[in-house]
Amino acid sequence: MKTLIVYATQHGSTEKCAENLARQLAGEVRIVDLKKVRKPALDQFKTVIIGGSIHAGRIQKKVRKFCIDNRVRLMSKRLGLFLCCMEEGEKALEQFDQAFPDDLRAHAVARGLFGGAFDFSRMNWIEKAIIKNISKIEDSVSKIKEDEITRFAKILTTT
């Protein structure tokens, strides 16, 4: 089975999650960063996984645009959707629901909330100041949920 993982990342967390996920999937897996490849060839893949992160309250524009531009083709694929965010519980679910269109969420065989991270070494001073002010976090922190990535991979390999 050929699988395509497309993602966008601001500070690297989504990329790390996509790579972790790819290692756990069977068959041929290709990973594409939407900042580098704007229009990946979807036709050669049976399964498409889309991932992004919340930055300034929204998923990346490149992920939103990819979903909208490819909506019809994505509805004919086995679809997985994941989101990296620092929120948990209901707030994380709200962010997931706002990140992806209703029809794609309903069509997806796997949906995941993979946690998130603040990597201050990859942020500019303005981003650091905003994070420190809003979240009251002073140093880099990772809340990546490895068990959630594994659960997501198992759903895709068993359905």
Structural domains of the chain, ranges and CATH numbers in brackets: 2-158 (3.40.50.360)
Q: What is the pLDDT along the chain (159 residues), one digit of tens a residue?
A: 799 999 998 777 899 999 999 999 989 999 999 999 888 989 999 999 999 998 767 898 999 999 999 999 999 999 999 999 878 899 999 999 999 999 999 999 999 999 876 666 666 666 656 665 666 666 665 688 999 999 999 999 887
Q: Tell me which DSSP letter residue 122 carries.
A: G
Enumerate residues 6+ apart whose C-beta is below 8 A from 75: 103, 104, 107
pTM of the model: 0.85
Residue reference for tokens 């960063």? 33
With CA atoms as reference, report the closest residue to 29 among 49, 7, 3: 3
